[in-house]
Amino acid sequence: MKVVIQDDSPAVARYGAYIFREQLQKQPASVFGLATGSTPLSLYRELINSTRRGEISFSQVRSFNLDEYMDLAPQHPQSYRAFMDREFFNQIDIDTANTMVPPGDAANPLTACSEYENAIAAAGGIDIQLLGIGRNGHIGFNEPTSCLASRTRVKTLTRQTIDDNARFFDAGEFQPQLSITMGIGTIMEAKLVMLLATGKSKAKAIKDMVEGPVSAWCPASALQMHPSTVVIVDEEAASELSDPDFFKHIEQQNQALLARLKSRRYPS
């Protein structure tokens, strides 16, 4: 697990966007796993701007979103499909037919979960899986006690997650308590996992994920077992790590090595 500590939220977004740009320049027909929520918005804006400047193109990309509320139609403004269309897909050159979001309004959600898994496999798997993290350590809607080998499935939301997301729904409006989410096992099959976190409210979850035991009580801790995970956090989100300066030192050494490779002092 590579932990990268940046000064602030904009720097986190820039670092994450750089990784996406590098992937697109290397492999234009990449498959991306995408996330919703406030944390990835700045990253999406970086990628939108790069697309508008002609630096990258999403025209050959296929995408699979992590999760969706159950019992919300795609047109509902609080659905994750509507979020992705509004905040990202409609502002880049992606073919929306190649953008997949779990169907929260599926007549048979159990069958829909299996079909979603099959679609990811048929696409050749996910090249970069983008994640945020909940205050309780959840990734996607894999809440504490989730099976660390789980696949795409229907999941009940915890009261904390429901309360955290209540701000997006009007008073008295129906708020889902069930979701369809990629499983932890599904996430772990991505070639690269990128997790972003900003703000003091995520500091304990980041500490538990990076330093705690691998446990279903902190679903994100499973990423300790992933061979290629990068965790990009700001100073506040890193504030409870035992030795943040060591992670900064590691990143400095990594960047120095990359610079050497690019200067051809070592074979690439």
Concerning whether 127 is annotated as a catalytic residue, the answer is no
Distance CA 174, CA 23 (A): 39
CA angle 134, 80, 96 (to 5 degrees): 130
Give the C-alpha distances (Å, rounded to integers) separating 62 from 4, 58, 100, 155: 27, 8, 8, 25
Options 67, 117, 208, 234, the catalytic residue = 67
Options 138, 142, 208, 234, the catalytic residue = 138
Options 46, 68, 127, 143, the catalytic residue = 143
Of the candidates 134, 195, 196, the residue with the CA atom closest to the CA atom of residue 160? 134
Concerning whether 249 is annotated as a catalytic residue, the answer is no
Helix, strand, or coil (residue 181): strand
Concerning whether 143 is annotated as a catalytic residue, the answer is yes
Concerning whether 138 is annotated as a catalytic residue, the answer is yes
Q: Annotate 101-150 with DSSP letters as a single string.
A: ---TT-SSHHHHHHHHHHHHHHTT--SEEEE---TTS-BTTB-TT--TT-
Cβ-Cβ contacts under 8 Å for 33 (sequence gap 6 or more): 63, 64, 65, 66, 126, 128, 129, 130, 182, 187, 190
Asked if residue 223 lies in contact with residue 229, where contact means CB atoms within 8 angstroms, the answer is: yes
Q: Which residues are catalytic?
A: 67, 136, 138, 143
